[in-house]
Amino acid sequence: MIKKRNYQYRSPESPEQQVEAIYEELSETPNEKSKRLNDTLKDYIIDIHSILRKAELNKTIEANRSEYSENFSIGILTAIILTCFLLNLGANGDIEWLNNNILTFRIVGVALAAIFLGIVIERSSFFTELWKFNVTKFFATISFSALVIFSYGKASAEINSIFGIVASAMPFTRAITTGIYVIKKFYFVLFFVGILALVQMLGVVIYVHNRTKPDSGYEKPPLLSIAIFVISLLFIGWCIHLNNSLTENALPKKIYRLAHILDFNAKHSCKNLPGSATVIFMGDEQSKVLVDETAFLESSLQSFLTSTDQDDIVIPPHFPQVACDN
């Protein structure tokens, strides 16, 4: 039997009747609901609750899907980085294909390692909170711009001191040298990468310690922490090797070798110059050349980046500038 509702067809007139009317709607049974046509307050509350639960469930599913996608991408990135570094261990071996492409694997591995560490730092709560402020973005942009401008001027001055010409005559050498100076100034970043590696290693040690306890439950292994620790060490090792090969004494010879790879021309049509001379064409009409008559052979960019011995390189004290007679 359906209980008669006092306020189904009339409105309550007093606060007490309003409370009683609300109680009638909320205390209605499912059987009573099937016998009427109009929805009650209880029906609306149930619908709202159902919608909110669906929205929360969809939000949770989307968050899990996004987290899985990020972790999967980071896992693929980690595998590629470790593969590149493992292939570097086979340098100068019996596999000719590997020897010919070892520079590509090294550059790709180091670049992806830097991207990986950048992603890890950007995902940290400290960086996320700090980067919310516009003043942080402003000073970071100004500082980096100043660093690039300083490195650009430093590279131009170094090229001028070696060859005695304006650096604009060697655009490729100047661009690469600018990048080298930027990297050298970023050497302090290794300190923070080292701290990151130690923190991740501490997490691994804590996990191993907790696993030794007899009452410890299941806990996912910190694979990401292990990957961060290993890649941090590889990146630090590469940066230390790079810094040792780019000392203030070795850098001029590196720039000299780089200029021969990128800007000097081994073939020319100047009849007043020996065929063995290498030149750089100068001026808008390119009627004047900078001459280097030293018998210098640089096999490839790979030998430039991988070699550390610069004792066999002798920079000429003077580079003549002569007219090119065609």
Residue 308: closest CA among 250, 239, 236: 250
Report the interhelical angle of 15-26 vs 41-88 (nearest 10°): 60
Instruction: Report CA 89 to chain centroid distance, whole Å.
Output: 23
Q: Give the C-alpha separation, 216 to 173, whole Å.
A: 59
Q: Based on the domain organization, do 280 and 309 belong to the same domain?
A: yes
Q: Based on the domain organization, do 247 and 130 belong to the same domain?
A: yes
Residue type, 54: K
Question: Over the stretch 82-115, which tens digit does the pLDDT of each residue have?
Answer: 888 888 776 666 777 777 777 778 888 888 888 8
Q: Based on the domain organization, do 196 and 300 belong to the same domain?
A: no
Whether pLDDT at 156 is above 90: yes
- Per the structure, how many domains does the chain have? 2
Q: Based on the domain organization, do 313 and 232 belong to the same domain?
A: no
pLDDT at position 215: 67
- 21 lies in a domain? no
Q: How confident is the model at residue 142 (pLDDT cuts 50, 70, 90)?
A: very high
Q: Residue 282's beta-bridge partner residues? A: 288
Whether pLDDT at 275 is above 60: yes
pLDDT at position 189: 76
List strand residue ranges (DSSP E) for 161-314, in order.
278-282, 288-292
Angle CA(229)–CA(143)–CA(166) in degrees, nearest 5?
110
Q: Based on the domain organization, do 297 and 211 belong to the same domain?
A: no
- 232 lies in a domain? yes
Structure tokens given for 174? 């100047």
Q: How confident is the model at residue 16 (pLDDT cuts 50, 70, 90)?
A: confident
Q: Which residue has the tokens 């310690």?
A: 209
Q: How confident is the model at residue 259 (pLDDT cuts 50, 70, 90)?
A: confident
Structure tokens given for 66? 């996004």
| Residue 268 domain boundaries | 264-323
- 284 lies in a domain? yes
Please check whether residue 232 is in contact with residue 110, taking contact to mean a CB–CB distance below 8 angstroms: no
Q: Based on the domain organization, do 163 and 206 belong to the same domain?
A: yes
Q: Given 223, 251, 279, which residue is the final one in a domain?
A: 251
Angle CA(167)–CA(168)–CA(172) in degrees, nearest 5?
85
Q: Does an H or E element contain 279, and which?
A: strand 278-282
Q: Based on the domain organization, do 134 and 236 belong to the same domain?
A: yes
Q: Give the C-alpha separation, 298 to 145, whole Å.
A: 33
Sign of the alpha-carbon dihedral angle for 154, 155, 156, 161: positive
Q: Give the C-alpha separation, 255 to 179, whole Å.
A: 12
